[in-house]
Amino acid sequence: MVGERAISKALKFYVPLGLYLLFLLFPFYWMVNTVFKSDKEMYNLELNPFYIHSPTLENIVHLFTRTIFLKWMANTFFVAILSTLMALGASLLAAYAIQRLRFRTSQPTGVAIFLSYLIPQTILFIPLAHVIFQLKLWDSLWALVLTYPTFLVPFCTWLLMGYFKSIPKEMEECAMIDGASRVRIFRSIILPLCLPGILSAGIFCFTLSWNEYIYALAFISDTSSKTVPIGLVTELVRGDVYHWGPLMAGALCASVPVALVYSFFVEHYVAGMTGALKE
Amino acid sequence: MGEAISQSEAMPGALRHRLSRALENPTLLGFLFVAPAELILLIFLAYPFVLGLWLGFTDTVVGREGSFVGLENYKELLEDSAFWLTVFNTFLYTVVAVILKAVLGIGLAVVLNRDFKAKGLVRAIVLLPWIVPTALSAICFWWLYDSTFSGISWVLMRLGLIDGMINFLGDPWNARFSLIAANVWRGIPFFTIGLLAGLQTISPELYEAADLDGASFWSKFRKITLPLITPLLAVVTAFSTIWTFADFQLIWIITKGGPAGATHVFGTLSFQRAMSGGHFGEGAAISNFMLPILVVCVLISFKYLRRED
């Protein structure tokens, strides 16, 4: 009886879970496995490709010494942090106003902001390239800092509106009776209470900016102004020459900041994701 | 904030009084609070959106203002076999990938919806493909799909299932399904984590009652689980459909639309024509073909997401 139940549990749970994890983790294994192989080993068909026979750091050395990888990382950080701050500031104010101030056009404003979240970058990059060109921001990181908030603000506002909604109105009313101004209520009551929400929103913004590809590809062609994903693909693939080792090393190293942020705040991340969907 | 206070303290009393009175007016304060967000969205989203609609009717090339050409771009595209191949690819890619993501995503959510050791760790691992920058995982898939050194081919050959290496990206159908597999890999976590939240709100009593009636696993899933998560599933699917339909980076990195246009989708074709070829007008027209599908997805997600107050 017990044996039967264990088998049924294994079939219903451990086997499918194992297969899923194998599928989801396999590409990562392939990436890490390649990073520490020499070219000679990588291109030797006689060897088992899933095993590293003589580990080497030459790919990582290649990445750091023969490309400006660190500069690309710095560029990506610069853009991600500035656009996150801009988006957070604008979204906090907007979300509070829409959810709590109930001014005349608050409802349509909320709807408009939500709708703008659903317009994909693929539709916007051509006219935006035109705008960026007119603003003389071509090849400048500021082009990215200014355009990334367009997909960050709608999401953040939507997420934060959910948090503001969960704060009891009575707290504000009490403070108002005590003579506190609206601005002061926002600063000393609402913001501290929404800290988890602000954190979730900030993490989302950071990872979304870090991951952005199409705008960075369209607006930046100068090698020293590229962000990591663009730099890797355009500089480590030259015609028919693929530097797979350094490419994998770059992909691994560039994933580290996002993975770190994520591992520290995974609960906030999940809460943000599910919160935004449910609200 | 500190600066703002000291500034207002430095102002003459009457002005300060009027200012703070004005800030108590919800309409004015609301307008001020919403202004930064609206300004960003107006300049860099609403204006480009309208500009894109206009560009589709012009012969603009990069660096030169174009003139109005009416429906010329659209007419040319409709006579362009490369465009029709793109339409086919986009729909194939979207329909197959979204269905696979939904089915596999629900499956994993159901598997994870129970208490077990290391639940948090497993959930964190499941989300990894979604967290890691797509451009970087795309590079990884690109290498995994190498025609000579792919680990997938190696395993299949060792198992005796195939005779030679698979030409993943050189053959049109292989390339299409390779891209779909990469997209599914990346998109499963969104469905799983999104739906898991919904599954957790279903009362266990419902399942216990069904167990007493001797219901099977499948009938419990069909009669209890599925109906209760349908609203959430609709939203998740609508979002995923928009993103898959408008996908760009995965395809651009792995195949650039090749071989011979066999994997071009709207996003990659418009990028190629507009940025690589310089034909902004034509590129914008291709992008604009995406709008009808988007509107449908937006309406669906809006119907289910609207907050009740």
* A275: pLDDT strictly greater than 70: no
- Tell me how far apart the alpha carbons of residues B46 and B35 are, in angstroms, rounded to a whole number: 14
Which chain B residues have a beta carbon less than 8 Å from that of A128? Answer: 44, 48
From residue B136, alpha-carbon distances to A21, A227, B130, B143, B294 in Å are 19, 12, 11, 11, 27
Q: Do B63 and A270 touch (CB under 8 A)?
A: no
Q: Determine the pLDDT at residue B4.
A: 47
Residue among A36, A30, A73, A26 nearest A245 (CA): A36
Query: What are the residues whose beta carbons fall under 8 Å from the beta carbon of B160, sequence distance 6 or more?
Result: none
Q: Determine the pLDDT at residue A12.
A: 78
* B6: pLDDT strictly greater than 70: no
Give the model confidence (pLDDT) of B51-100 as tens digits.
999 998 988 887 777 888 888 889 988 998 899 999 999 999 999 999 99
Q: Do B139 and A30 touch (CB under 8 A)?
A: no
Which chain B residues have a beta carbon less than 8 Å from that of A262? Answer: 124, 127, 131
- Tell me how far apart the alpha carbons of residues A246 and B180 are, in angstroms, rounded to a whole number: 26
- Tell me how far apart the alpha carbons of residues A165 and A100 are, in angstroms, rounded to a whole number: 8
For chain A, give the secondary structure using H, E and C.
CHHHHHHHHHHHHHHHHHHHHHHHHHHHHHHHHHHCCCHHHHCCCCCCCCCCCCCCCHHHHHHHHHCCHHHHHHHHHHHHHHHHHHHHHHHHHHHHHHHHHCCCCHHHHHHHHHHHHCCCHHHHHHHHHHHHHHCCCCCCHHHHHHHCHHHHHHHHHHHHHHHHHHCCHHHHHHHHHCCCCHHHHHHHHHHHHCHHHHHHHHHHHHHHHHHCCHHHHHHCCCHHHCCHHHHHHHHCEECCEECHHHHHHHHHHHHHHHHHHHHHCHHHHHHHHHHHHHC
Distance from CA of A76 to the nearest CA of B (A): 12
- Tell me how far apart the alpha carbons of residues B43 and B59 are, in angstroms, rounded to a whole number: 23
Q: Do B135 and A115 touch (CB under 8 A)?
A: no
* A115: pLDDT strictly greater than 50: yes
- Residues A250, A253, A255, A257: is their CA dihedral positive or negative? negative
Q: Determine the pLDDT at residue A1.
A: 53
Distance from CA of B84 to the nearest CA of A (A): 18
Which chain A residues have a beta carbon less than 8 Å from that of B34? Answer: 93-94, 97-98, 109
User: Which of A59, A100, A123, A203 would best serve as a mutation to test chain B binding (most B beta carbons within 10 A)?
Assistant: A123
Q: Determine the pLDDT at residue B92.
A: 95
Q: Do A34 and B297 touch (CB under 8 A)?
A: no
pLDDT-based confidence at residue B146 (cuts at 50, 70, 90): confident
Q: Do B135 and A181 touch (CB under 8 A)?
A: no
Which chain A residues have a beta carbon less than 8 Å from that of B21? Answer: none
Distance from CA of B17 to the nearest CA of A (A): 12
pLDDT-based confidence at residue A259 (cuts at 50, 70, 90): confident
Which chain A residues have a beta carbon less than 8 Å from that of B285? Answer: none
* Minimum-distance CB partner of A233 among B51, B135, B190: B135
Q: What is the ipTM score, two decimals?
A: 0.87
Q: Which two structure tokens, joined as six digits, stand for B159?
A: 């198992």
Give the model confidence (pLDDT) of A48-102 as tens digits.
778 887 788 888 888 888 888 899 999 999 999 999 999 999 999 998 888 888 7
Q: Do A119 and B49 touch (CB under 8 A)?
A: yes
- Count of positions (residues) in chain A: 279
Give the model confidence (pLDDT) of A204-256 as tens digits.
899 889 989 999 999 998 888 899 989 988 888 877 778 888 888 989 888 88
Q: Determine the pLDDT at residue A142.
A: 94
Q: Which two structure tokens, joined as six digits, stand for B108?
A: 């994993």
Q: Do A113 and B51 touch (CB under 8 A)?
A: no
Give the model confidence (pLDDT) of B176-219 as tens digits.
999 999 999 999 999 998 898 888 888 888 888 888 888 888 88
Half-sphere exposure of residue B252: CA atoms within 13 angstroms, side-chain side: 25
Q: Which two structure tokens, joined as six digits, stand for B11?
A: 């102002």
Give the model confidence (pLDDT) of A165-174 as tens digits.
878 888 888 8
Q: Which amino acid is at B182?
A: A
